[in-house]
Amino acid sequence: MARVGMTFLNEREEDLIHEQSIKILEQIGVKVHSQSVLKLLEEKGAAVDHDTMIAKLPEGLVKDALETAPKEFNLCARDPKHDLAFPSHPYPYATTSGLAVKVVDRHTGEYRVSTRKDAAEFAKLGDAIDSVDFLWTSLTATDVSPLAHGPHELWATMQNTSKHVQGVTVQSGEDARVQVELAALVAGGSDALRKRPLMSVIACPIAPLSFEEGAVEAQVEFARAGIPICSMSMSMGGITSPVTVAGTITNANAENLASIVITQAACPGSPHIYTSESAPMDVRTGAINYSAPEKALIAIGLGQMTKRYRIPALVADIGFGDELYPNVGPFSDLAIQIMAVACRTDIITGMGCCESALGISFGQLVIDSYIWEYVREFMKEVHVTEERIGFDEIRAVGHGHHFLKSKHTRRFMREEITQYNNDKLEMLTSDAATVTAEANRIAEQLLKDHQVLPIDEKLVQQGDEIISAYEGRLAT
């Protein structure tokens, strides 16, 4: 079975990145701002200095973690028809962008701060679009308690999609326990949630080689509950990792290996997704440069490392908006993202984002979903068999004739040649104003017509009470 895949590193270079990553973890170690997690790592064999909060991870500990981390598992959904099996096949699962603090108001076009209602409505739109496979908690609820906005976003999203939900905000171990309680409420209890994880979570190391107290303690809580962890390294070449592509790949790889060790130390066999959104700095501004060609090279290299470890991966994105208003994106961004997703990542993220993920646009989600439907066809599987090659047909047609009327053409044409939706293609190739207006119209119509599989009202009320009680504890 033939399938497109990008290769960047040769075997010797893969070996070197792995060896240097192990050397970093053994000799430099990682800084873990949590005494409880340091103690956990120490019990598993790490060399821990509790004064400096540095944990040095021996190669054997990393090897054991890679062996116990599951190679196959599911991200489950309220509606089982939306369950996602890993590794993905034949192309990556697509999800939205996350944690944006601004939204393009679909009624007025105003670019404003986001609310819990926006998060709910954006989740509903994602639920309605078939090519969005699952939902991140995409928008920050700025109208609720700042210390409890993560549970609010999770709960609003879960009520407005029957697909899997991946949380992006978690601030402490208690925050994690509240989110697990909400998910377990819908799943039917903690044991049911462990068997069918309806949520997963992004847990970011802080580059270089550090783990913040609240996030890492939350990671341990999630792992013990059987919630899949995505260890999103955000190494920025030249600022939080070496400026070189090789150095950034190695830094991100080391951070992911350390995070896998933490997950497996907390609960051997707990699912983990190797994750990165690493890129070089923009030398003009010092910001992360998502438009740099090196971003694609980093993603492809990290994708190769995940295949080496046989760990599911999220190392590429597919969002095409970069201005305050929806657009199809410049050629450079398109080329970089298409190259990156060919690294055989299991998940891509970024759909619906604008202004380098600071904001979210309803119309942009429609645009991105249409583009993704086209782009993913580059990753479809192609059967290379004697029957498909068609020697007998070539002989029957002979020299200088055509295959239009051949049985071979009629048999295989529909599955071998992509038939893209003409209405969608016409919209994408219109001028910017037309694309924007039509995408917003489609988003509005989907929100009007689409019905989300509901959660029982009693469970909704219980979830609201769980969040209210948490906010009360935070206030004391």
- Bond into 151 cis (ω within 30): no
User: Has residue 301 been placed in a domain?
Assistant: yes
- 453 found inside a domain: no
Rounded to two decimals, what is the model's pTM?
0.93
Assess whether pLDDT exceeds 80 at residue 416. yes
Q: Residues 84, 75: contact at Cβ < 8 Å?
A: yes
Does the residue 224 lie in any domain?
Answer: yes
Cα torsion angle, 415, 417, 420, 422, sign: negative
- pLDDT confidence bin for 338, thresholds 50/70/90: confident
Using CB atoms within 10 A of its CB, is residue 77 exposed (0-12), middle (13-18) or buried (19+)?
A: buried
Q: How many helices (H) and strands (E) does the chain have?
A: 18, 20
Helix, strand or coil for residue 294?
helix
Residues 420-438: what's their mean pLDDT?
A: 88
- Per-residue pLDDT tens digits for 88-145: 988 899 999 988 999 999 899 999 999 999 999 999 999 999 999 999 999 999 999 9
pLDDT recorded at residue 293: 87
pLDDT at 323 over 70: no
Between CA 210 and CA 205 the distance in angstroms is 6
Mean pLDDT is lowest, of 82-86, 326-330, 390-394, 456-460, for 326-330
Q: How confident is the model at residue 332, as a pLDDT?
A: 63
Answer whether residue 40 shows pLDDT above 80.
yes
Cis peptide before 280 (omega within 30 of 0): no
Look at residue 326 and tell me whether its pLDDT is greater than 60: no
184 located within any domain: yes
Q: How far apart are CA 255 and CA 230, in angstroms?
A: 12
Residues 263 and 390 occupy one common structural domain: no
Q: Bridge-partner residues for 74, per DSSP?
A: 85
CA distance 144 to 151: 10
What is the token pair recorded at 398?
């002979």
End residue of a domain, out of 355, 379, 403: 379
338, HSE (Cβ side, Cα atoms, 13 Å): 17
Question: Is 168 domain-assigned?
Answer: yes
How far, in Å, CA of 55 to CA of 76, rounded?
A: 34
Quickly state the pLDDT bin for 437 (edges 50, 70, 90). Answer: very high
Of residues 419 and 171, the one with the higher pLDDT is 171
Q: Which amino acid is at 255?
A: E
52-66, 123-137, 206-220, 294-308: lowest mean pLDDT where?
Answer: 294-308
- Indicate whether 313 and 353 sit together in one domain: yes
Which residue, of 396, 416, 436, is where some domain finishes? Answer: 416
Q: Which of 230, 232, 235 is nearest to 246 (CA)?
A: 235
Q: Please check whether residue 398 lies inside any domain of the structure.
A: yes
Look at residue 325 and tell me whether its pLDDT is greater than 60.
no
Distance, C-alpha 275 to centroid of its chain: 7
Residue 336: pLDDT above 80?
no
Strands (E) located in 377-435: none
> pLDDT value at position 165?
98
What total of structural domains would you count in the chain? 2
SS3 362: helix
pLDDT for res 379:
83
Q: Note whether 136 and 275 are same-domain residues.
A: yes
| pLDDT given at position 21 | 97
259 plus 224 within the same structural domain: yes
Residue 73's alpha-carbon distances to 78, 86, 168, 227, 302, in angstroms, are 16, 5, 20, 11, 20
Both 288 and 171 in one domain: the answer is yes
Q: Check residue 455 and report its DSSP letter.
A: P
CATH code where residue 123 lies: 3.20.20.480
Closest residue by Cα to residue 75 from 60, 67, 86: 86
Same domain, 220 and 309: yes
Question: Residue 431 pLDDT more than 90?
Answer: no
Query: Does residue 63 sit in helix, strand or coil?
Result: helix
What confidence category does residue 66 fall into, taking pLDDT thresholds of 50, 70 and 90? very high
User: What radius of gyration, in Å, describes the C-alpha atoms of the chain?
Assistant: 23
Of 323, 356, 379, at which residue does a domain stop? 379
Bridge-based pairing state of the strands 102-104 and 111-113: antiparallel
Per-residue pLDDT tens digits for 172-217 = 999 999 999 999 999 999 999 999 999 999 999 999 999 999 999 9
Which string of DSSP letters, residue by residue, matches 81-130? GG-EEES--SS-EEEE---BSEEE-TTT--EEE--HHHHHHHHHHHHH-T
* 154 three-class SS: helix
Classified as helix, coil or strand, 181 is: helix
Q: What's the confidence (pLDDT) of residue 327? A: 52
Looking at residue 430, what is its pLDDT? 86
Task: Identify the pLDDT of residue 289.
Answer: 86
- pLDDT reported for residue 331: 59
Same domain membership, residue 331 and residue 186: yes
| Domain identity same for 130 and 267 | yes
Cβ proximity of 342 and 304 under 8 Å: no
- Asked if residue 370 is part of any domain, the answer here is yes
Angle at 216 between CA 260 and CA 258, to 5 degrees: 25
For residues 409 and 358, membership in a common domain is answered with no
| Same domain, yes or no: 137 and 234 | yes
Q: Are residues 96 and 176 in the same domain?
A: yes
- Domain annotation covers residue 280: yes
Exposure letters 33-62 (e unless 16+ CB within 10 A, then b): bbeebbebbeebebebeeeebbbbbbeebb
> What mean pLDDT, rounded, does the chain reach?
93
Residues 106 and 134 placed together within one structural domain of the fold: yes
* Structural domain harbouring 341: 67-379
